[in-house]
Amino acid sequence: MTNIGSRPTINTRRIPPGGRGHRRKVRRSGTRSRFFDTALRSLVWFEEQKTSMVILLIGGAVLLVLFLGFFPFLLAADASAFGRFPEGASICGVEVGNLTKEEARAKCERGLSEVASRPLELKVDGEVWAITPAEIGLNIDYAKMVDEAYARAWNVNILERMVRRFFEKPRSMDFPPVVTYNNQQVQAFVERSMSSINCSPRNAYMDVSTGNALIVPARDGRKADYKQVLSATEKVLANGERAVDIPLTKRTPPKIKDVTIGKFILVNQGAHTLSLYDRDNLLAQYPVCVGSPQYPTVIGEWAVVKTEKNPTWYNRGSTWMENMPDSIPPGPGNPLGTRAITLNGGGVLIHGTRDTWSIGRSVSHGCIRMYIGNVEQLFEHVYIGMPVYIIKASGNPGFDCSKPPFWK
């Protein structure tokens, strides 16, 4: 029923031409366009892949032809090379290319002769204990070494062998010489050496035992284990080497690491000489007279305690002084000459003398006599506390130079 007086409602929303059916047609058209684009790109990609495949096939065919062409040549070369080492091969630095095993062995024996003659050495702190190869039955097993090298050279597949030969790149055969030795003799050598390897610390000292001055350097105390040293020795031999760096388990440093002596005097009774040194450098040497067998000059390490110019001689009551005055003043009749150097050992003096006939002999009453001119030259270098070593003879000093004197 319609109310009288009211207006009908009118929908004013505009409907685009075509309506909903038109929008569905547009969407279907866009989908078909994207489909055709994708199909076109796929076709282009497929054509590119076909081109790549053709190129690969052509390249493979060319390589196959080349391989088939070279293969008979490489195969023939490989077959003809059996029984000989490859070109460029070497054993322990010895070139053996194109040689038979017998030829290679002979060449290795010549080339490694110097290596075979090297002694086995144990080394530590600059000290060396050595033994000859013959003493321990140490030999290079040339036959085994060549056999192993030959097997390594040819123990590869045929393709690798042919390629290596074509490019002249032989397989590396670097390995140490194969050696044999007597285990018991090596063990005995190491065991003998242990008594010297293991040692107490040694202080630095001045060695005058030979009649010349030599500074002996300090040395650490060392401790090594026999089994470790033997193991290191066996490892070195297995590597074809001959020098063993001894492994230590303990070190003990010395108390005196250097000799602090500057200038000092060395008297050699056997040679009748007095030498002036600055450390181990000889500055001057003079002939002297030393004590007689009845009145020997005391040996050992001493020190200067007094120096006198134009000294007075004093009678100390010895038996040979019984008929002499209590003292003799400086002058021509003084037994000490013009210079006297007193030591702290047994009343010994180094002094001049006018009894020149006694120089070079052992006829004094214990003192060390010098020509007047010589003692005056020496006197200019002497100082209080200066060390004075007096030895019996070269090689027989009469005391242990490595130990400090009792009075220090």
Domain boundaries in the chain? 263-391
Closest by alpha carbon to 232, among 135, 145, 141, 124? 124
Q: Which residue type, as a one-letter code, is found at position 68?
A: L
Closest by alpha carbon to 293, among 208, 392, 371, 375? 392
Secondary structure class of 287 (helix, strand, coil): strand
Taking the C-alpha atoms of residue 46 and residue 32, their distance in angstroms, rounded to an integer, is: 21
Q: Is 351 a catalytic residue?
A: yes
Neighbours of 186 (CB within 10 A): 20
What angle, rounded to 10 degrees, do the helices at 226-238 and 183-197 form?
130
Taking the C-alpha atoms of residue 25 and residue 78, their distance in angstroms, rounded to an integer, is: 77
What DSSP letter does each residue of 174-197 carry, written as one string? --PPPEE--HHHHHHHHHHHHHHH
Q: Is 22 a catalytic residue?
A: no
Radius of gyration (C-alpha) of the chain in whole angstroms: 50
Taking the C-alpha atoms of residue 326 and residue 170, their distance in angstroms, rounded to an integer, is: 99
Are 184 and 230 a contacting pair, CB within 8 Å?
no
Residue segments in the chain with a per-residue pLDDT below the cut of 50: 1-15, 18, 22, 24, 26, 77, 79-80
Query: What is the number of residues in the chain?
Result: 408
Taking the C-alpha atoms of residue 102 and residue 170, their distance in angstroms, rounded to an integer, is: 20
Q: Which residues, including other chains, have CB under 8 Å from residue 385's CB and lie 6 or more apart?
A: 303, 304
Closest by alpha carbon to 176, among 136, 151, 137, 149? 149
Cα 141 off chain centre by: 28
Closest by alpha carbon to 349, among 399, 285, 403, 291? 291
Are 131 and 189 a contacting pair, CB within 8 Å?
yes
Taking the C-alpha atoms of residue 267 and residue 304, their distance in angstroms, rounded to an integer, is: 13
* pLDDT value, residue 234: 95
Taking the C-alpha atoms of residue 199 and residue 270, their distance in angstroms, rounded to an integer, is: 33
Residue 60 half-sphere exposure toward CB, CA atoms < 13 A? 6
* Class of domain 263-391 as given by CATH: mainly beta
Q: Please report the sign of the dihedral spanned by the C-alpha atoms of residue 381, residue 271, residue 398, residue 205.
A: positive
* pLDDT value, residue 80: 47
Query: Which residue among the candidates 108, 199, 367, 381 is catalytic per the annotation?
Result: 367
Are 147 and 101 a contacting pair, CB within 8 Å?
yes
Secondary structure class of 349 (helix, strand, coil): strand
Q: Which residue carries 């040979």 as its tokens? A: 320
- Alpha carbon of 251 to those of 222, 223, 256, 257: distances in Å? 5, 6, 15, 14
pTM of the predicted model as reported, rounded to 2 decimal places: 0.62
Q: Is 150 exposed, middle or buried (0-12, 13-18, 19+ CB in 10 A)?
A: buried
Query: Which residue among the candidates 22, 272, 351, 365 is catalytic per the annotation?
Result: 351
Taking the C-alpha atoms of residue 265 and residue 259, their distance in angstroms, rounded to an integer, is: 15
Cα 104 off chain centre by: 33
* pLDDT value, residue 7: 46
